[in-house]
Structure 1
Amino acid sequence: MTLQRVYLVAGELSGDILGAGLMRALKVRHPHVEFRGIGGPRMIAEGMQSRFPLETLSVMGLVEVIKHLPELVSVRRTLRREALAWQPDIMVGIDAPDFTLGLERQLRRAGIKTAHYVSPSVWAWRQGRVKGIAQSVDGMLTLLPFEADFYREHQVPVAFVGHPLADELPLENDRLATRQVLGLEPDAPVLAILPGSRSNEIRFLGRTFLSAAEQLCQRHAMLRVLIPAATAQRHAEIQTLLDDYPALASRVHLLDGQAREAMVASDAVLLASGTAALEAMLCHRAMLVAYKMAPATHWIAKRMVKTQWVSLPNLIAQQSMVPELIQEAATPNAIANQLDELLTDHDARSELEARFAALHKTLQRDASRRATEAITAIAAGQPLEIQDAR
């Protein structure tokens, strides 16, 4: 089957990255394919006709979603109407499951094939959602192997496609060369701080992270701190916070993007949980995951989450490789103490970097090509039998 029209709906910057890679692979397999839906700058550059800005779906937390619910309902209604009028061969939701799965269910009921790319954390909490997912999608595409096992157990059509970041990032990287590009001293200790790509994350984590950095700079006279800002808006928000930390002025390099370069150049990374933790693992860098959210959101989440860990490196390895400090535990002093250990223990860092490199190999599967094969099979009503590229 040759695909002519694919309706894509992505949420957040990570979804835009995945969507752009998928679009490139789809165009190789289906040269005349057209794309509509919601995407960010990368997807638009690949030919997406985006109906709404990507930020429309970038709402964090259970409580925060409720505040934006009327707008989100209106957006989903518009997308449903336009997709039905366009009649795509398949609709693919990319992450943002609370939004996209509902749209997928509506379109599937109307006779349009649907797929979901990036499994929600149904294996971690609210496992009963798998019944609704089975009604929403003709196929689930997972980035991680343990996720596919969960769906097979619940008889949901699934394909483990691997993670595009694992394909994109090299198994070897050059810390010193990257430091030279960023204008850093080759021998100085370097800490990368990634507080998140959403405004709420900067609000909840920004001052905590900067206070921890301030403590570390007092302990390490040569420490340099890299803070990549995901967007121009995040750059302005972080700069406003930095104005309250004059002692950091000569130590902090606030970057426009360049998150990957910051991680590769670093000795250790401080970050919020999410895709950034996976990327740090694929850059083979020691890290600390610290996260805060609205108190009401945390109260609800901690009663529902069933996994021992929140960070992807620990979940993939099914063991505690990366320290995690969540909510009240994520104090500036606790963060500084954990990072101090990472910065001073060279042997431990080297061992962790080697373990991350081994995990990196297991996730390299030519993911965008495999996702394209899965989507083509789903649109044609065929079983999900994806050939391993390795």
Structure 2
Amino acid sequence: MQKRKLKIGIVVGEVSGDTLGAKLIRSFREQGIDVEFEGIGGPQMLAEGFKSYYPMDILSVMGIVEVLKDIKKLFAVRDGLVDIWSKDPVDIFIGIDAPDFNLRLSKSLKQKQLPIKTVQYVSPSVWAWRQGRVHGIKASIDLVLCLFPFEKVFFKKWDIPAAFVGHPLAGQLPLKNDLTEAQTELGLDPALKYIALLPGSRRGEIERLGPLVLDAANLLHQKHPDYIFLVPAINEARKQQIESLLVQYPASLTARVRLIENSGRESKIGRQVMNASNIIALASGTATLEAMLLHRPMVTFYKLHWLTYRIAKLLVKIHYFSLPNIIAGKKVIQELIQSEATPEKLATEIEKLMNIEVAQIQVMQHITMHKQLLSSNSEDPVKAILDLVQ
């Protein structure tokens, strides 16, 4: 009797999850394991033959208050997946990041008593805030795949099965990373100086943070007209959104802004723009880790709905928001959060990084942390996942 093909459900909610998902799919294939993948995926996963029941953008909602507007839609998507997998169960469900959605989906699958093992790939930041979630994780997740070694230590204290699988970018991005080469790859003139502006990849983020970065760029342009500003656009919709903001600014500034749209099937334009820039200003999130592993000097910022921020402040257990600072356990990069995130302060922090010595100190710290992530002993995520069903 022929053995049934393994079936794995995956749900991702943003570009970084899509990248991890595509790499995981390729890892199964490279190891000769015959698997069908379905759920919710992005363009990179679709290119690997992934079957997506809903568009990835449907989950691209951030913040406590902001989610409430789309709560019915999100519940409908969750219930739709539960219904699909109740009729034709997958062997394993893997939620990649998007913990608020994926942990609820895992809980619903467990409540249905379906024969599905559940995995959360990318640990929810329970070590940072809302630690009460750890009880829900213990009840609904069979295995947590951690990107950082300190996360596995945390889950061990709570007797939750966890594997440190390392961050794929740490091994993927080289320790020696030439700026001129990166600029040439994007068709940029290495003789010029570039500042990357990354307000985020979601519609809501660009609405909230786009004016902040462009206002800061306008201030910098008046003092440093030789700099060129690079702004990545993950797709045509985000490109149009940024263009609609740019028309509100002086022609002298817009002439120095280069909006670069993603062209390949892999959503790497943000990384390419950061890699080709002398300085990066970016929204706090997983992209800060990419910037760190690219060894580029950066400043990060973020603004939430005022009520979301007030609630989050009550729940946060750590001192920093950005991954480089969390990994280092100290302030390596400047964070401008909420009321601190003003065009004036952002322009000032970017200007500080124009000093070569200041920038180089930060870059050396990035390289040190990169080496630390490479030196840690990590497990193969494919083996960790297969151990659940074998």
Normalising by the smaller structure, the TM-score range is over 0.9
Alignment of 1:294-373 (within 5 A): 294-343=305-354, 345-364=355-374, 370-373=380-383
Asked whether the equivalents of residues 140 and 158 of structure 1 are also in contact (C-alpha less than 8 Å), the reply is yes
* Mapped partners of 1:139, 1:87: distance in 2: 18
Alignment partner of 2:282 out of 271, 288, 300: 271
* Mapped partners of 1:213, 1:64: distance in 2: 27
Q: Match for residue 152 of structure 1? A: 156
* Mapped partners of 1:287, 1:367: distance in 2: 28
* Mapped partners of 2:374, 2:24: distance in 1: 15
Corresponding residue SS for 1:55:
helix
* Cα displacement (A) at 1:322: 0.5
Alignment partner of 1:220 out of 210, 217, 224: 224
Alignment of 1:36-47 (within 5 A): 36-47=38-49
Query: In structure 2, do the counterparts of structure 1 residues 54 and 368 end up closer, same or farther at CA, with 3 Å as the change threshold?
Result: farther
Provide structure 1 residue ranges, at least 5 long, that are not aligned to the other structure: 381-390
Asked whether the equivalents of residues 263 and 280 of structure 1 are also in contact (C-alpha less than 8 Å), the reply is yes
Give aligned pairs, total: 379
Q: Match for residue 251 of structure 1? A: 256
* Mapped partners of 1:196, 1:74: distance in 2: 26
* Cα displacement (A) at 1:229: 1.0
* Mapped partners of 2:328, 2:368: distance in 1: 10
Structure 1 window deviating more from structure 2 (149-158 vs 168-177): it is 168-177
Output the amino acid matched with 2:177: N
Alignment of 1:41-190 (within 5 A): 41-108=43-110, 109-190=113-194
Measured against aligned partners, the alpha-carbon deviations of 1:156-214 in whole angstroms (never above 9, x if no partner) come to 00001011122221222221122233343323321101110111111111111101011
Q: Which runs of 4+ in 1 moved over 4 A?
A: 365-369
Output the amino acid matched with 1:250: A
* Mapped partners of 1:120, 1:56: distance in 2: 20
Q: Match for residue 265 of structure 2? A: none
Asked whether the equivalents of residues 352 and 358 of structure 2 are also in contact (C-alpha less than 8 Å), the reply is no
Asked whether the equivalents of residues 167 and 367 of structure 1 are also in contact (C-alpha less than 8 Å), the reply is no
Normalising by structure 2, what TM-score? 0.93
* Cα displacement (A) at 1:374: 0.9
* Mapped partners of 1:117, 1:365: distance in 2: 21
* Cα displacement (A) at 1:28: 2.4
Q: Cα RMSD between the aligned structures?
A: 1.8
Asked whether the equivalents of residues 119 and 141 of structure 2 are also in contact (C-alpha less than 8 Å), the reply is yes
Provide structure 2 residue ranges, at least 5 long, that are not aligned to the other structure: 263-268
Corresponding residue SS for 1:37:
strand
Structure 1 window deviating more from structure 2 (103-112 vs 66-75): it is 103-112
Percent identity over the alignment is: 45
* Cα displacement (A) at 1:224: 0.9
Output the amino acid matched with 1:323: Q
* Mapped partners of 1:368, 1:219: distance in 2: 47
Corresponding residue SS for 2:315:
coil
